[in-house]
Amino acid sequence: MPTKSTFFRRLLIWRYKHISEKNFVFLLALVIGLLSGLVAVTIKNITFAIEAIFEKGIILSENSIYFILPVIGLFLVYLFVKYVSKKPSEHAIPSILFSLSKRNGLISRRKIYLPLITAPLTVGFGGSVGLLGPAIASASAISSSLGQLLHIDRKTRSLLIGCASAGAIASIFKSPIAAIIFAIEVFSLDLTFASLLPLLIASVSSVITSYFFLGDSVLFDFTVSEKFQIKDTLFYILLGIGTGVASIYFTKIYFGVTSIFNRFKSARQKLIVGGLAIGVMLYFIPPLYGEGFGFINDLMLGNDKQAIGASLFDNYLDNIWVVIGLLFGITVFKAIAMTTTFAAGGTGGIIIPTLVMGSSLGNLVAKIINNCGLGFSVSEANFTLIGMAGLIAGVLHAPLTAIFLIAEITGGYQLFVPLMITASMSFIINKNALDHTIYTKELLEKGALLTQDKDKSVLTLMNLDAVIEKNFIVLNPEMTLGDMLKNGVAKSSRNLFPVTDNENNFMGIILLDDIRTVMFDQSLYDSTTVETFMHRPPEFIIYEKDSMQDVMKKFQESGAWNLPVIKDEKYFGFVSKSKLLTAYRKELINFTS
């Protein structure tokens, strides 16, 4: 009886013989779409089940103390991480982008199930984050594992991870077009027929999975009742400016709060401080609780009091300026609450909190316009909707994703013009102020970020270790010319010699041209040392610091054909321009094929 591995090997051989590579990718995209849909449905249902327990009062009979629930959820996540997973949670999208650029699209199998546990505990207990990021992380890990199992090459594996992310988004938001655009904008996938069709297949199959399990219900019950009017153009530009500035604030707050929590030495300290901070914010601003879809729906339906919820300001909600002030507070503190949830050890995503913040900002801008006493009137529901697109465009640097996401999840295609105005304004303002997003800052600093710039992406995919050469004979500065000729030049096939001291500290280099005129002068063999001919190279490559972009730039600026590599302040090898360019060309062909 054949073993399991033998059977699987025969299955792969049969596939190679009977299914073309293109059709096999289409088939995998279909499977990954279905699995991504199941992941999204699973993570939502687990979270909703936890939320339902609290709503029915099984654990807490009084809603007035709901603000302690996020602390309990974070504590459960802390226990799970400490005693079960034993590894801190990673932010979903940045870790996937790093895997694509530096790990050949390989993602740990542990990430298939970890987000399915930690995210529902975080969000189900009221953590101020979203479920989309964890769903993408789990689906991408499934896709990566499937690619490894079926011996898929790196480029196809990366495409299938993009299919997984598109499937997760399509399933959660029921927005297949926005899901495809997200994969292209955020994951920097090429927009070609070879990539577009698998993304389309994955998105559609995932949406169908979502409809099968969750029915045809939509996230936002909204119908456009007031169409775009040309007289409102200036106000949408104003909203674009507002969301652009708010998106800069969102990003800076994220890194600011994160840096504060990084000063704490232990996860327990982060949990205590973060939990207390979240509890205080929820006590004064109840809409910060949980994901916030209900808050968005209430705003779009004009139910301001229900959106704001029971708070200390209930007796003053008849005053529109108090409502505006509370909406401003939600706009300001949503980013803080979200980041604090992350920093305290919670797991979640940033896209849904961004939608909440954008809806609050859009609604308050509309209310200010309508109540400033100048006789203007705009649709508060439309501004709520378009505010979400503006903030998504700025925070993610993904304006097309923002436009199609909001249009699809609300059916608001009649608002395409104001969506484009606000999203483009927000994106331009944020892009001019920040070169990075929450997803990309650390990757950018590490030189591990893939972009639509093919040259930079190819260099990012290259591995420095693959181009380092070590077949050089190392010389000592005290070695005589005679010894150098006998033990170095005579035994080497290279015309370059590194010089190091006894502890392998790099001292300099000697080229064959440097000693050519004295090679046959035997009177110098014993009286002259290597140090006499040694000189510094025009540039150094620092192994721990320099990215492949830095390496290429150093070759261009120095004009050198070989540059030494220093690792841990010791000599490590050389990189030659010829080998670097050969590796670059090979990677470029693979990247663009």
**In 3-state terms, what secondary structure has residue 539?**
coil
**What was the pLDDT predicted at 449?**
65
User: At 452, is the pLDDT very low, low, confident or very high (cuts 50, 70, 90)?
Assistant: low
**What was the pLDDT predicted at 490?**
85
Contacts of residue 582, defined as CB under 8 A and 6 or more positions apart, other chains included, come to none
**What was the pLDDT predicted at 1?**
43
**What was the pLDDT predicted at 305?**
84
**What was the pLDDT predicted at 59?**
44
Q: Could you read off the pLDDT of 119-137 as tens digits, one per residue?
A: 999 998 888 899 999 999 9
User: At 584, is the pLDDT very low, low, confident or very high (cuts 50, 70, 90)?
Assistant: confident
User: At 65, is the pLDDT very low, low, confident or very high (cuts 50, 70, 90)?
Assistant: low
Cβ atoms within 10 Å of 549's Cβ, excluding its own = 14
Q: Mean per-residue pLDDT for 275-302?
A: 87
User: At 61, is the pLDDT very low, low, confident or very high (cuts 50, 70, 90)?
Assistant: very low
Q: Mean per-residue pLDDT for 371-377?
A: 88
- Residues 258 and 343: their CA atoms lie apart, in Å, by 6
**What was the pLDDT predicted at 453?**
66
**What was the pLDDT predicted at 217?**
67
- Residues 392 and 423: their CA atoms lie apart, in Å, by 8
Amino acid at 413: Y
**What was the pLDDT predicted at 524?**
85
Instruction: Give per-residue burial for 500-522: e unless 16+ CB within 10 Å, then b.
Output: beeeeebbbbbbeebbeebeeee
Q: Mean per-residue pLDDT for 309-317?
A: 75
Instruction: Give per-residue burial for 280-312: e unless 16+ CB within 10 Å, then b.
Output: ebbbebbbbbbbbeebbbbbbeeebeebbbeee
Q: Could you read off the pLDDT of 41-54 as tens digits, one per residue?
A: 999 999 988 888 87
- Residues 17 and 306: their CA atoms lie apart, in Å, by 62
pLDDT of 159 strictly over 60: yes
User: At 58, is the pLDDT very low, low, confident or very high (cuts 50, 70, 90)?
Assistant: very low
| Domains with residue ranges and CATH for the chain | 4-214 (1.10.3080.10), 230-451 (1.10.3080.10), 456-592 (3.10.580.10)
Q: Could you read off the pLDDT of 392-448 as tens digits, one per residue?
A: 999 999 999 999 998 888 766 788 899 999 999 999 999 999 988 888 887 777 666
Q: Could you read off the pLDDT of 325-371 as tens digits, one per residue?
A: 999 999 999 999 999 999 998 999 999 999 999 999 999 999 999 99
**What was the pLDDT predicted at 495?**
86
Q: Which residue has the higher pLDDT, 166 or 302?
A: 166
**What was the pLDDT predicted at 266?**
87
User: At 56, is the pLDDT very low, low, confident or very high (cuts 50, 70, 90)?
Assistant: low
Q: Mean per-residue pLDDT for 171-190?
A: 87
Counting Cα atoms < 13 Å in the Cβ hemisphere of 167 gives 36
Q: What percent of the chain has pLDDT over 70?
A: 93
**What was the pLDDT predicted at 369?**
95
- Contact in structure between 157 and 383 (CB atoms under 8 Å): no
Are β-strands 562-567 and 541-542 bridged in parallel, bridged antiparallel, or unpaired?
parallel
**What was the pLDDT predicted at 148?**
87
Look at 58-62, 208-212, 437-441, 502-506 and tell me which has the smallest mean pLDDT.
58-62
pLDDT of 307 strictly over 90: no
Amino acid at 402: A
Look at 182-186, 220-224, 340-344 and tell me which has the smallest mean pLDDT.
220-224
Q: Could you read off the pLDDT of 233-256 as tens digits, one per residue?
A: 999 999 999 999 999 999 999 999
In three-state form (DSSP H/G/I as H, E/B as E, the rest C), the secondary structure along 375-402 is CCCCCHHHHHHHHHHHHHHHHHCCHHHH
Q: Mean per-residue pLDDT for 29-44?
A: 94
